[in-house]
């Protein structure tokens, strides 16, 4: 019997005893965890509020929270997570473990988009779980890894591929078997008609891309989406072909080893315009479309993932066409400070 059950049971027994003496209403009480319904309010004892120390556990943070956030609201969230079955350190830091717990919780709720971010729908689901006095089997959605795995190339495999702010690069690979569960085709123009897998993105990213493209259209610009989701197998074939043509070292500067491409995350879209003949070339950055993207992408949760002058950090040449979805909060901080995702997270 957990603490809450014990408290409520004691409460019920106390009230039952008082009521049994005068009315026999205790017949309506069952022995479940729920407080009895239909108890006349006149029978409430003045001390009842003090008798319920779990009242505070029903509180969950009001606003959105995500990785890197810290403070009392994060602590409150960690406490709420522990109430439903997690055992995260209540340190007030939205760290990897907290991100994992949120992700795992989201994976166990059919209605939620999985992002590792504590957003409004997640808040409602968490509150509902606590109020129903339900518990979660921690790790049933996303097992918590003790030791990081590595790829054949020696790259560390990330433990949480669902994380919307996950760092995926030449040092952090996606699991080979990771396929996003919520891939959809965004309703934006493509320079080809076939329904190829590369049209897809994860749902939250796809919706935001639609909004970004609508806004660009209003500004009189012509944006096209060229290449989004790419499976591990497809990336494997592309990299092998680039190695044949250019050698491994050179191939690795513009192409990614399988697992190390953000395109597998479903959070990325390469975009282009008729002004550069629908190609993916650096000149795109000089077009009206490219300049507008630089200014406005963050407003819709996207960053230019491989900026000019940051090649030493990203290990990629400048790619003004490669958009990565990280959500508005992170995108605004990254783009306004002119930094990379690597710098933002470290």
Question: Total residues at the site for Zn ion (CB under 5 A)?
Answer: 2
Q: In the 8-state DSSP scheme, what is residue 278?
A: T
Encoded one letter per residue, x for contact with Zn ion by CB under 5 A and - for no contact, window 217-256 reads ----------------------------------------
- Which residues are CB-neighbours of 285 under 8 A, at least 6 positions away? 291, 294, 308, 318, 320
Tokens of 215: 């806004």
**Residue 56: φ, ψ to 5°:** -65, -25
Cβ atoms of residues 224 and 275 within 8 Å? no
In angstroms, the CA 12 to CA 209 distance is 53
Encoded one letter per residue, x for contact with Zn ion by CB under 5 A and - for no contact, window 167-206 reads ----------------------------------------
Cβ atoms of residues 100 and 84 within 8 Å? no
If we measure between CA atoms, which residue out of 168, 176, 169 comes closest to residue 152?
A: 176
**Of 67 and 322, which has the nearer Cβ to Zn ion?**
322
Nearest distance in Å: CB 277, Zn ion: 17
**Of 123 and 322, which has the nearer Cβ to Zn ion?**
322
**Of 150 and 196, which has the nearer Cβ to Zn ion?**
196
Cβ atoms of residues 55 and 49 within 8 Å? yes
Catalytic residue annotation: 319
316 exposure class (CB count in 10 Å sphere: 0-12, 13-18, 19+): buried
Give the interface segment with Zn ion, choosing from 10-18, 133-141, 162-170, 315-323 (CB under 5 A). Answer: 315-323
Residues 284-313 that bind Zn ion (CB under 5 A): none
DSSP 134-163: ----TTSSSPPPSS--B-TTSPEEPS-TT-
Nearest distance in Å: CB 268, Zn ion: 6
If we measure between CA atoms, which residue out of 239, 269, 245, 247 comes closest to residue 173?
A: 239
In angstroms, the CA 170 to CA 25 distance is 68
Nearest distance in Å: CB 324, Zn ion: 8
Residues 250-279 that bind Zn ion (CB under 5 A): 270
Residue showing tokens 């390469």:
270
Give the interface segment with Zn ion, choosing from 17-25, 120-128, 242-250, 319-327 (CB under 5 A). Answer: 319-327
**H-run or E-run covering 252:** helix 248-254
**Of 270 and 289, which has the nearer Cβ to Zn ion?**
270
Nearest distance in Å: CB 326, Zn ion: 15
Nearest distance in Å: CB 260, Zn ion: 12
Q: In the 8-state DSSP scheme, what is residue 320?
A: E
**Of 81 and 271, which has the nearer Cβ to Zn ion?**
271
Task: State which of residues 199, 207, 230, 322 lies at the interface with Zn ion (CB under 5 A).
Answer: 322
Nearest distance in Å: CB 262, Zn ion: 7
**Of 126 and 256, which has the nearer Cβ to Zn ion?**
256
**Secondary structure class of 196 (helix, strand, coil):** coil
Q: Which residue is nearest to Zn ion (CB)?
A: 322
Encoded one letter per residue, x for contact with Zn ion by CB under 5 A and - for no contact, window 71-110 reads ----------------------------------------
Interface residue list for Zn ion (CB under 5 A): 270, 322
């Amino acid at each position: 019997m957990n603490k809450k059950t014990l408290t409520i049971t004691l409460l019920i027994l106390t009230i039952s005893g008082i009521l049994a003496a005068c009315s026999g209403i205790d017949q309506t009480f069952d022995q479940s965890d729920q407080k009895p319904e239909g108890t006349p309010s006149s029978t409430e004892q003045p001390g009842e509020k003090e008798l319920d120390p779990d009242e505070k556990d029903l509180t969950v943070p009001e606003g959105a929270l995500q990785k890197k956030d810290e403070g009392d609201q994060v602590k409150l969230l960690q406490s709420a997570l522990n109430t439903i079955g997690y055992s995260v350190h209540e340190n007030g830091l939205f760290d990897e473990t907290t991100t994992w717990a949120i992700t795992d919780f989201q994976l166990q709720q059919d209605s939620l988009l999985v992002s590792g971010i504590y957003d409004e729908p997640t808040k409602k689901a968490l509150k509902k779980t606590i109020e129903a006095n339900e518990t979660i089997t921690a790790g049933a959605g996303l097992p918590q890894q003790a030791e990081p795995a590595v790829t054949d190339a020696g790259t560390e495999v990330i433990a949480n591929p669902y994380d919307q702010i996950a760092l995926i690069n030449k040092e952090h690979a996606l699991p080979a078997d990771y396929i996003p569960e919520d891939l959809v085709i965004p309703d934006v123009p493509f320079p080809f008609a076939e329904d190829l897998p590369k049209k897809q993105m994860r749902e939250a990213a796809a919706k935001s891309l639609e909004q970004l493209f609508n806004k660009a259209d209003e500004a009189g610009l012509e944006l096209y989406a060229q290449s989004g989701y790419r499976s591990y197998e497809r990336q494997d074939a592309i990299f092998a072909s680039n190695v044949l043509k250019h050698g491994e070292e050179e191939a690795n500067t513009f192409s990614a080893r399988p697992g190390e491409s953000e395109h597998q995350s479903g959070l990325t879209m390469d975009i282009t315009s008729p002004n550069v003949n629908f190609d993916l070339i650096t000149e795109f950055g000089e077009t009206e479309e490219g300049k507008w993207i630089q200014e406005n992408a963050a407003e819709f949760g996207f960053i230019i993932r491989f900026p000019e002058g940051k090649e030493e950090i990203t290990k990629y040449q400048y790619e003004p066409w490669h958009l990565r979805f990280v959500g508005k909060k992170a995108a605004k901080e990254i783009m306004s400070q002119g930094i990379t995702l690597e710098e933002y997270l470290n």
